[in-house]
Amino acid sequence: MGIFDFLGGSGPDKALKLKSKVTQKYGDPSSRQKALQQLGEMKFPEAVGVLLQRYNITVEPLTTDTDEKEHVFELVKAFGQDAIAPVTEFLRKNEAATSWALRILEALLPEAEVTRLAVDTLTELSGKYMRNHEKQVVLLHYVTGKQDPRIAPAVLPYLEDMAADVKLAALKALGPLKHEPAREPILKLLANKEIARRVQTAALAALHESGFGVQGYREKVEEAMTEPFFLDGNGLVQRRG
């Protein structure tokens, strides 16, 4: 055992002890920055987990905050394959900083694998109450436009989320996927007069993009219709211009 190990200077325990410095919002920033650098020089997964905690705080000035978070991104990325497990765990369990976790994983894994992890996380979160909806929205935006047969079934339950922003993100993701089981839930959203107008408009856009007909809901869809959309003779939502 080396003298630094004896003093707790380089092992996993040392990494965990640095967490308080990494998440210290006030005081001399050099102390926090030194801790980040020390963690980046360690070579075990516990150091990655502590580095990621820096994403849970915001410091002033914002330029310093951004610089430090970018530095953490580079430090974690340098761990290579050893970073994948702790970053994946962070993505699953942490409510904030989802975009940073996805960005790191994109730097370490093929896009299809990151999409799979995003879908797994969406499935796990489905139906859970969350005070902050940022994580759900970021994940929904991430899978939008991507091709994976598991995306649509994972996104569909989010049409019933209480948050309008989550509904909007789910509608945007579902439209181009043309997922038949989504047709009636989208129509129900559109027909619900208590739903925010912007959500109804997004539902019209999703129906237009998916090419689904409005059978069984024509009258209610006509009541909810707004420019630039209109309903044609075949019961399909069209867009002017």
Q: What is the pLDDT of residues 112-135, one digit of tens each?
A: 999 999 999 999 999 888 888 999
Tens digits of residue pLDDT in 154-177: 999 999 999 999 999 999 999 999
Q: How confident is the model over 133-139, as a mean pLDDT?
A: 97
Task: Give DSSP secondary structure letters for 139-174.
Answer: HHHHHTT---TTHHHHHGGGGG-S-HHHHHHHHHHH
Residue 7: pLDDT band (50, 70, 90) is very low
**Beta-carbon count within 10 A of 231 CB:** 17
Question: Residue 5: is its pLDDT beyond 80?
Answer: no
Note the pLDDT of residue 1: 37
Query: Model-level pTM?
Result: 0.92
Question: Residue 4: is its pLDDT beyond 50?
Answer: no
Note the pLDDT of residue 6: 39
Mean pLDDT of the chain, nearest integer: 93
Q: Which residues of 177-190 are buried (b: 16+ CB within 10 A; e: fewer)?
A: bebeebbebbbebb
Note the pLDDT of residue 10: 57
Tens digits of residue pLDDT in 40-93: 999 889 999 999 999 999 999 999 999 999 999 999 999 999 999 999 999 999
Could you tell me if 204 and 224 are in contact, meaning their C-beta atoms sit under 8 angstroms apart?
Answer: yes
Question: Residue 31: is its pLDDT beyond 90?
Answer: yes
Note the pLDDT of residue 110: 97
Q: Look up residue 101 and give its amino acid.
A: A
Cis previous bond, 61, omega within 30: yes
Which segments of the chain belong to CATH 1.25.10.10?
133-241
Percent residues over pLDDT 90 in the chain: 89
Calpha distance 232→152 (Å, rounded) = 27
What one-character DSSP code corresponds to residue 91? H
Determine the topology of domain 133-241 in CATH: Leucine-rich Repeat Variant (1.25.10)
Task: Give DSSP secondary structure letters for 63-89.
Answer: HHHHHHHHHHHHHHHTTGGGGHHHHHH
Calpha distance 236→238 (Å, rounded) = 6
**Beta-carbon count within 10 A of 14 CB:** 20
